[in-house]
Every structure is written in structure tokens, then in C-alpha cells.
Amino acid sequence: MEWREVVDHPSLQDLPFKIETNEWGKILMTPASYVHAAYQSRIFRWLVLSGLGEALAECPVQTSKGVRVADVARATHRFP
């Protein structure tokens, strides 16, 4: 599937976990652990406090191997 198809598909709305695609368009479902979430929160907080741009959690990123979801990302500009 193309990422737009994944985003628009009615059965994939409001899932309690994140999804990604691999290089063949196959949907991957990735559960997270408590420790993973704790580290993610700490990194997110550090980015917010650093003032280095917009901190983003669970941000989809198009790669050559499909769409991956970064646990934490930084945008160099702020959104409204």
C-alpha cells in the first residue's frame, strides 16, 4: 500500500498503536514498551526545552524502505 492509502483507509483509523510500511508496502505494527515510552518522553521534553525547533512525537517519515514512524523528531520551524 502507498502511505496515502494507509492514512485514508477506514479500518486503519484510530488504532491504539503505531503502524509503518516496509519497502514493499506491507503494513507493520509495532507495539512499544514502558521503557521505550519513558525514553521517548525524556527526549521529547529535552527537545521542547532546548528551543531548537518544534518537537514531534510519532512523526511519519518517508524513507527508501517505506514510511517509518520516528519516536521523536525535530522540525526546524514552528507550526501554528
Q: Where are the domains of the chain?
A: 3-75
- pTM for this one? 0.59
Q: Give me the percent of the chain exceeding a pLDDT of 70.
A: 91
Write the DSSP assignment of 58-77 as a string of letters. EEEEEETTEEEEEEEEEESS
Supply the mean pLDDT for the chain.
83
Q: How long, in residues, is the chain?
A: 80
* Alpha carbons 75 and 21: distance in angstroms, whole number: 22
pLDDT, tens digit, for every residue of 8-47?
888 877 776 777 778 888 887 767 778 888 999 999 999 9
- The whole-angstrom distance between residue 59's C-alpha and the CA centroid of its chain comes to 3
